[in-house]
Amino acid sequence: MAIKLSNRSKLIKPSPTLSLSAKAGQMKEAGIDVISFSLGEPDFNTPEYIKASAQKALSANFTRYTANAGILELRKAICAKLLRDNGLEYTPKDILVSPGAKASILNVLTAVCDTDDQVLIPSPYWVSYPYQVLLADSVPVYIETREADSYKLQAADLEEAILESPCAKVLILNSPSNPTGTVYTREELSAIAEVCVKHDILVISDEIYERLIYDDVKHVSIASVSEEMKERTVVINGVSKAYAMTGWRLGYAAGPTHIIQAAGRVQEHTTSCVNSITQKACVSALNDEDDSIENMRKEFWQRRDYLYDRLQKIPHLSCFKPQGAFYIMPNIQWYIENNNAGIKSSDQFCEMLLDKHHVAVVAGSAFGLKGTVRFSYANSLEKINEGVNRFEAFLKEISR
Ligand SMILES: Cc1ncc(COP(=O)(O)O)c(C=O)c1O
């Protein structure tokens, strides 16, 4: 008889973004010309100056276990970055380096949440948050946001959710956001902070897309709006997105010492330290930045402009203009209600689009927002152009 799985593991479903790109990958392997807008991964190579420092570390045999929380040199570089870019003062004992921001979030949730504690998640949300909350044996509570509010959590809605959730302990905030690309202003964050301080809510502030921001918008960390809020915030960041280092696996958490130390103990008994070579490469990524990082941002900006322009010209499609990250989420509800192909949901829409026109986009339902699809524009302008041509052709074909 097969061994029974844990109840916890049964709650965890495969990541829809990863399964879709796996299907697109299989089609590509079978020789099909698939255009994929599904994965949240820069299509650029890791910059040369970062690779050079990794090569140097390898030649110097820097290949052993390091301190669990990360080498001191790196934690100092992270403190310097947080002061330089965010006006936040931390010391190395307030920093935990983990194998990706994903691991950072789970370590922190595990360190602060007891069974049945409630974790507030503005919706739409990044696909992994609910599962991470469930893995920490706590309970996700979704707070709907509206397109009219640029998909930003409103302080009044937050307060209402807290009052209705007797075990509310944590809020996960993500700016710039995956999937919508919305970016909160200092005023909006101050209003949210006021509610969090009043009700003693810890904010896990996921700022992984901080550097990918367009127009004249500025990134603000909620930890920087007041000293009381800083005491209740764990900032999450990493190198995957802005430095094109997804495969290197490094993220970090910065926050109140007792939380970071507890999260560190979780890590000590799970993954231990991050790969030693990656850590050296990240010291260089943060300390010796050259213009390759800014050049990638400019390229994403150009793609955002192009893709937004194309999408918003399509009839019956409404499209929120993202200001950060590399995603865009057009509303396809009209086509779900007015098609001749039997499509009744964004999931079916995406499946048919992939099967018939070989374009992979992710259904909004994966992020808690039905009637939409998410494009990742971490793709060349040429591919974006061809992909949108096919997307448009599909819409024409199915519309009644
Ligand atoms: C909002 C958000 N947070 C965190 C992560 C995880 O990043 P990492 O590669 O550092 O684990 C992602 C990756 O897709 C993301 O979109």
Please give the number of the atom of ligand 1 that sits closest to the Cα of 250: 10
CA 399–ligand 1 middle distance (angstroms): 35
> In this predicted structure, what is the pLDDT of residue 400?
82
Burial per residue of 238-266, b for 16 or more beta-carbon CB atoms within 10 angstroms, e otherwise: bbbbbbbbbebbbbbbbbbeebbebbbeb
How far does the centroid of ligand 1 lie from the alpha carbon of residue 393, in Å? 32
Q: Which atom of ligand 1 is nearest to the CA of 178?
A: 1
Atom of ligand 1 nearest to the CA of 239: 10
Please tell me the distance from the alpha carbon of residue 82 to that of residue 233, in angstroms, as a whole number.
13
Residue 17 has pLDDT above 80, yes or no: no
Is the pLDDT assigned to residue 135 strictly greater than 80?
yes
Which of 67, 12, 70, 98 minimizes the C-alpha distance to 271?
Answer: 98
- pLDDT tens, 39-76? 889 999 999 999 999 999 999 999 999 999 999 999 99
pLDDT in tens, 147-206: 999 999 999 999 999 999 999 999 999 999 999 999 999 999 999 999 999 999 999 999
Atom of ligand 1 nearest to the CA of 103: 11
Q: How far is the CA of 97 from the centre of ligand 1 (A)?
A: 14
Start-to-end C-alpha separation, the chain: 52
Q: pLDDT tens digits for 346-399? A: 999 999 999 999 999 999 999 999 999 999 999 999 999 999 999 999 999 999
For atom 16 of ligand 1, which residue has the closest CA?
178
Instruction: Name the residue among 310, 316, 301 with its Cα closest to residue 385.
Output: 310
Which structural domains are found in the chain, ordered by start?
Answer: 7-45+292-398 (3.90.1150.10), 49-287 (3.40.640.10)
Letter string b/e over residues 200-228, b meaning 16 or more CB atoms within 10 A of that residue's CB: ebbbbbbbbbbbbbbeeeebbbbbbbbee
User: Cα of 300 to ligand 1 centre, how many Å?
Assistant: 17
Q: How far is the CA of 18 from the centre of ligand 1 (A)?
A: 13
Predicted local distance difference test score (pLDDT) of residue 40: 87
Tokens of 201: 């809510």
Ligand 1 centroid from CA 306, angstroms: 24
- pLDDT tens sequence across 66-99: 999 999 999 999 999 999 999 999 999 999 999 9
DSSP readout, 186-202?
Answer: HHHHHHHHHHHHHTTPE
Q: How deeply is 3 buried, as exposed, middle or buried, from its count of CB atoms within 10 A (0-12, 13-18, 19+)?
A: exposed
Ligand 1 atom with the shortest distance to the CA of 101 = 10
Mean pLDDT of all residues in the chain?
Answer: 96
pLDDT attached to residue 97: 98
Q: What is the pLDDT of residues 193-249, one digit of tens each?
A: 999 999 999 999 999 999 999 998 999 999 999 999 999 999 999 999 999 999 999
Instruction: Tell me the residue length of the chain.
Output: 400
pTM metric for this prediction = 0.96
Pocket of ligand 1 (CB under 6 A): 40, 100-102, 126, 174, 178, 206, 208, 238, 240, 246, 251
pLDDT value, residue 16:
67
When pLDDT is cut at 50, 70 and 90, the band that residue 253 belongs to is: very high
User: What is the CA(337)–ligand 1 centre distance, in A?
Assistant: 33
CA dihedral 81, 86, 91, 94 (to 10 degrees): -110
Is 320 in contact with 151 (CB distance < 8 Å)? yes
Mutate to test the pocket of ligand 1, among 18, 39, 102 (most ligand atoms within 8 A of CB): 102
